[in-house]
Amino acid sequence: MLGLGPHASFIIAAYAVAFVALGALTVATVADDRKQRRLLADLERRGITRRSAKPRPAATPTVTRTAP
């Protein structure tokens, strides 16, 4: 294989740790993204869309004079 010299295990370990840590981060990020997209698609399929999510029109209250 490669001649990595006397410290081969450290070099391999460093690359392995970087690979595992960044790989896990990538997998977790992509999985989260997928999950949110699935949830959103699911909600929209059931007819709950952003249009229906539009808040009910807010109250526009008025102040009336009730006494002199």
Partner 1 sequence: MTFSLTNLANPTRFLNFAGTVIPWLAALTVLLLGVGLYQAVFVAPTDYQQGETVRIMYIHVPAAWVGMGCYAVIAIAALGTLIWRHPLADVAAKAAAPIGAAFTFVILVTGSLWGKPMWGTYWVWDARLTSLLVLFLLYLGLIALWQSIEDPGRAGRAAAILALVGAVNLPIIKFSVDWWNTLHQPASVFRTGGSTIDPALLTPLFVMGGAFLALFVLLHLIAMRAEILRRRVRVLQQTQVQQAQIAQAARA
Partner 2 sequence: MNTPFTVTLEARGVACDRGGRRLFEDLSFALAPGEALLVQGPNGTGKTSLMRQIAGLLPLAAGEISAKGAEAGTPTAELCHYVGHLNGVKTSLSVRENLTFWADYLRGDATGGDVNAALGVFGLAPIADIAAGLLSAGQKRKLALLRLFACPRPIWLLDEPSVSLDVASVERLRQAITGHREAGGIAIVSTHVPLGEAFTHTLDLHALDMAEEPAP
Cβ 58 to partner 1, closest distance in Å? 14
Neighbours of 29 (CB within 10 A): 10
Binds partner 1 (CB under 8 A): choice among 45, 50, 58, 65: 50
Distance CA 46, CA 58 (A): 25
Q: Which is nearer to partner 1, 51 or 65 (CB)?
A: 51
> Which residues have C-beta within 8 Å of that of residue 11, sequence separation ≥ 6?
4
The binder of 59, among partner 1, partner 2, none, by C-beta within 5 to 8 A per type, is partner 2
Q: What string marks each residue from 22 to 61 as x (binds partner 2 by CB under 8 A) or -? A: -------------------------xx---x--xxxxxxx
Distance CA 66, CA 61 (A): 15
